Amino acid sequence: MQAIHEIGYEYSENRPDATFVLELEQHGFDDRTVFSNMKVPFAVLLGKLVTADGKVIWRGNSQNGKDFLVGESANSMDASRKEIGVRNWEEYECDPEKLRADWELAVKGAVRDLLRAAKKAQHE
């Protein structure tokens, strides 16, 4: 909900005009860049806005507008995600809290990307 407010959307559970449906389409690990050995968690989210009568009035995903040439973690180069990732898998094995925190940041980032895509589509 915080991500919704951060980009200027209003949220209410009282008689909504439409329902926001969120799906996890894909998740895993990818290299930060083709030249990096950093392993970075990523999530691809699908979203849609559905009216009370079932009509889909918007759909998008968190990868809209991203550079697919550098993999699913293309958004990992965003400044807010620079701390995500490890050089080798043993780092996550030794520090499960780091893994949990990185997944939380990756998912929050994907939600922000999805909402930004929605806002961009709204202004086009």
Sequence-distant (6+) residues with CB within 8 A of 38 are 31, 32, 85, 86, 87
Plot region of 87 (φ>0 → left; ψ -120 to 50 → alpha; else → beta): alpha
Spatial separation of the C-alpha atoms in residues 96 and 15, rounded to whole Å: 41
pLDDT at 92: 96
For the chain, residues with pLDDT lower than 50 are: 67-71, 73-74, 76
Q: Please report the beta strands in 32-99, taking only residues with DSSP state E, as ranges in sequence order.
A: 39-51, 56-61
pLDDT at 68: 43
pLDDT at 111: 86
pLDDT at 45: 92
The total domain count for the chain is 1
pTM: 0.71
Domain extent at residue 30: 2-123
pLDDT at 36: 78
